[in-house]
C-alpha cells in the first residue's frame, strides 16, 4: 500500500520549514546547497538573449499561444531534438509546458487511468510519488543498484499485470548518474516483453539533460525504447528555473503517435496549465541548439569531490547535474541534515528522494561560501 499524498507531503513540508527557518536564523551567513538555485551566472548567453527579446517585443510577440505552444517554436525544438535523439520529430510531437513539473503531471494525467501501476527507481525525484498518489496511480519504488544505476532485473521482478509505465530520469536526479546504453537497452528489453493490453510507456525525464559537466555522453532513452515520452526543462538548462519553461516530446515511433499528442494537448487545456510565457517560448527556440558552458560547474564538482573524499566522505561517482550525492555517517539522514542546518549549511536528506542514508548537495555557489560549507560537512561527518 503506497502512502497517501498527505503522508508524502509531511517530510517535504518539514524540510521546507527547516530550510526557511535556517535562512531566517543565519541570514547572509547561511550557505544554501539544498534546492538547485545557483547564485552565480555560469553562462550569460541565455540572459542576454532574453533581455534582447524583451527589448524588441511588440504586441504580436506577446500574444496568446496555442496550447502546445507557438508552431515556429515547436518546429525549431523538434529539429533540435531530432538531432539529439536521432529521431524524426516534427512540431506536432512537441508540447510546450511551464516547466518539467507540468510536463510530468500532464503526461501522467492524460495517458494513464486510475489503477494503472507505474514503476519508479529509488532514489528518484521527490515529487513523482506525490503526483502518482494524487492521480490514483499505484507505484512500486524499485531500488537502484549500489552504484545507483538502473536495475532492469528489478523492474522485471516488480512487473504486475496492471503495470502500464516506467519513469526514469536521465541523467538521474537526485544522484547525477548517467544511465549507459547497455542499461537502457536492458530496460527496453523488459518493457518490450509486455505488450498486453498495449505497449507500456517509458517516461524519460531529461530535466537535467544539458548538465553533463565532464562531457560524458548522456544517451536518450527514446533512442532505445519505441514508446517513450521525453520531458525537458529549459529553465534548468539555462539556470532560469523560475522562468518555468519545459516541453514534452512524443517519440515519432510511439503508437498511436498523433492521438497521444492530441491527448496531451487536450490535457493542457483541461488542466489550465497553458504553454510557457510567450517570451520564454521564443527563448527556447533561440537556444535549442546551444549547449550551456559548464566549465565553472565542472571545476566546482571536481573541487568539492576532492575535498569531501579527502575527509573520508563517500561521494557517488557521477558525471552530470549540479548535484553531489553522498553517504551520511549515520542511518538517519534527516538527523544529519538537521545538524548541518544547525550550523547554517543547507543540504537535502535522501529520504525526500525515497531512499535513506544519503544527502544531496547542490553546487549553488563557489568559494568562500562553498569551502566553509564543505569544512562544516566534514567536521560533522567526523563527529558522527
Residues that bind ligand PLP (CB under 6 A): 36, 99-101, 125, 169, 173, 205, 207, 233, 235-236, 241, 246
Least spacing, CB of residue 231 vs ligand PLP, in Å: 7
Backbone angles phi, psi at 35, to 5 degrees: -75, 145
Number of residue whose CB is nearest ligand PLP:
99
Of 70 and 323, nearer to ligand PLP (C-beta) is 323
Least spacing, CB of residue 88 vs ligand PLP, in Å: 25
Of 111 and 203, nearer to ligand PLP (C-beta) is 203
Least spacing, CB of residue 241 vs ligand PLP, in Å: 5
Of 98 and 252, nearer to ligand PLP (C-beta) is 98
Sign of the dihedral through C-alpha 303, 308, 311, 317: negative
Of 120 and 380, nearer to ligand PLP (C-beta) is 120
Sign of the dihedral through C-alpha 97, 272, 280, 68: positive
Least spacing, CB of residue 228 vs ligand PLP, in Å: 16
Least spacing, CB of residue 284 vs ligand PLP, in Å: 12
**Grid coordinates 544554501 are at which residue?**
32
Q: Write the CB contacts of 278 (distance below 8 Å, at least 6 apart in sequence).
A: 57, 61, 62, 63, 65, 70
Three cell numbers, residue 351: 529520504
| Beta-strand runs (E) in the chain | 31-32, 94-97, 117-122, 139-143, 163-169, 201-206, 228-233, 246-250, 323-327, 345-346, 348-349, 358-362
CA distance 322 to 281: 24
Least spacing, CB of residue 211 vs ligand PLP, in Å: 10
Q: What is the SS3 assignment for 250?
A: strand
CA distance 316 to 170: 16
Count of Cβ atoms closer than 10 Å to residue 228 Cβ: 25
Sign of the dihedral through C-alpha 123, 249, 98, 201: negative
Of 78 and 352, nearer to ligand PLP (C-beta) is 352
Of 116 and 239, nearer to ligand PLP (C-beta) is 239
Least spacing, CB of residue 265 vs ligand PLP, in Å: 19
> Residues in the chain, how many?
384
Of 188 and 348, nearer to ligand PLP (C-beta) is 348
β-strands 201-206, 228-233 pairing = parallel
Of 233 and 267, nearer to ligand PLP (C-beta) is 233
What do you get for the CA distance between the two ends of the chain, in Å?
34
Query: Do residues 46 and 291 make contact, with C-beta atoms less than 8 angstroms apart?
Result: no
Of 191 and 204, nearer to ligand PLP (C-beta) is 204
Least spacing, CB of residue 132 vs ligand PLP, in Å: 14
**CA 379 to each of CA 336, 338, 339, 362, 382: distance values in angstroms, whole numbers, following the listed order:** 12, 14, 11, 19, 5
Least spacing, CB of residue 97 vs ligand PLP, in Å: 8
Residue 168, beta-bridge partner list: 204
Least spacing, CB of residue 167 vs ligand PLP, in Å: 9
Strand ranges across the sheet with 348-349 = 323-327, 358-362, 348-349
Of 241 and 267, nearer to ligand PLP (C-beta) is 241
Backbone angles phi, psi at 78, to 5 degrees: -60, -40
Amino acid at each position: 500500500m503506497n502512502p497517501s499524498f498527505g503522508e508524502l507531503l509531511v517530510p517535504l513540508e518539514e524540510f521546507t520549514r527547516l530550510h526557511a527557518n535556517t535562512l531566517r536564523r543565519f541570514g547572509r551567513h547561511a550557505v544554501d546547497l539544498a534546492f538547485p538555485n545557483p547564485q552565480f551566472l555560469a553562462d550569460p548567453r541565455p540572459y542576454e538573449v532574453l533581455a534582447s527579446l524583451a527589448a524588441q517585443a511588440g504586441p504580436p510577440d506577446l500574444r496568446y499561444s496555442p496550447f502546445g505552444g507557438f508552431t515556429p517554436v515547436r518546429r525549431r525544438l523538434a529539429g533540435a531534438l531530432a538531432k539529439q535523439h536521432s529521431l524524426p520529430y516534427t512540431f506536432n510531437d512537441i508540447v510546450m509546458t511551464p516547466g518539467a513539473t507540468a510536463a510530468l503531471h500532464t503526461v501522467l494525467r492524460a495517458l494513464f487511468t486510475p489503477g494503472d501501476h507505474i514503476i519508479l527507481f529509488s532514489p528518484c525525484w521527490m515529487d513523482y510519488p506525490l503526483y502518482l498518489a494524487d492521480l490514483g496511480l499505484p507505484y512500486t519504488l524499485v531500488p537502484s543498484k549500489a552504484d545507483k544505476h538502473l536495475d532492469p532485473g528489478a523492474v522485471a521482478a516488480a512487473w504486475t499485470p496492471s503495470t502500464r509505465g516506467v519513469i526514469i530520469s536521465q541523467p538521474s536526479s537526485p544522484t547525477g548518474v548517467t544511465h549507459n546504453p547497455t542499461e537502457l537497452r536492458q530496460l527496453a528489453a523488459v518493457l518490450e516483453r509486455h505488450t498486453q493490453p498495449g505497449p507500456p510507456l517509458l517516461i524519460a525525464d531529461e530535466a537535467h539533460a544539458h548538465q553533463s559537466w565532464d562531457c560524458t555522453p548522456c544517451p536518450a532513452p527514446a533512442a532505445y525504447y519505441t514508446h517513450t515520452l521525453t520531458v525537458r526543462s529549459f529553465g534548468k538548462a539555462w539556470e532560469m528555473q523560475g522562468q518555468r519553461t519545459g516541453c514534452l516530446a512524443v517519440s515519432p515511433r510511439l503508437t498511436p503517435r498523433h492521438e497521444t499528442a492530441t491527448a496531451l494537448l487536450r490535457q493542457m487545456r483541461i488542466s489550465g496549465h497553458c504553454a510557457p510565457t510567450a517570451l520564454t517560448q521564443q527563448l527556447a527556440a533561440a537556444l535549442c541548439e546551444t549547449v550551456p558552458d559548464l566549465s565553472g560547474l565542472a571545476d566546482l564538482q571536481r573541487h568539492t569531490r576532492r575535498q569531501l573524499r579527502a575527509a573520508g566522505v563517500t561521494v557517488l561517482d557521477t558525471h552530470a547535474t549540479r548535484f553531489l550525492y553522498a553517504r551520511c555517517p549515520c542511518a538517519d539522514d534527516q538527523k544529519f541534515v538537521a545538524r548541518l542546518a544547525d550550523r547554517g549549511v543547507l543540504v537535502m536528506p535522501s529520504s525526500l528522494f525515497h531512499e535513506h542514508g544519503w544527502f544531496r548537495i547542490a553546487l549553488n555557489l563557489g568559494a568562500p561560501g562553498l569551502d566553509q560549507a564543505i569544512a562544516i560537512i566534514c567536521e560533522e561527518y567526523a563527529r558522527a
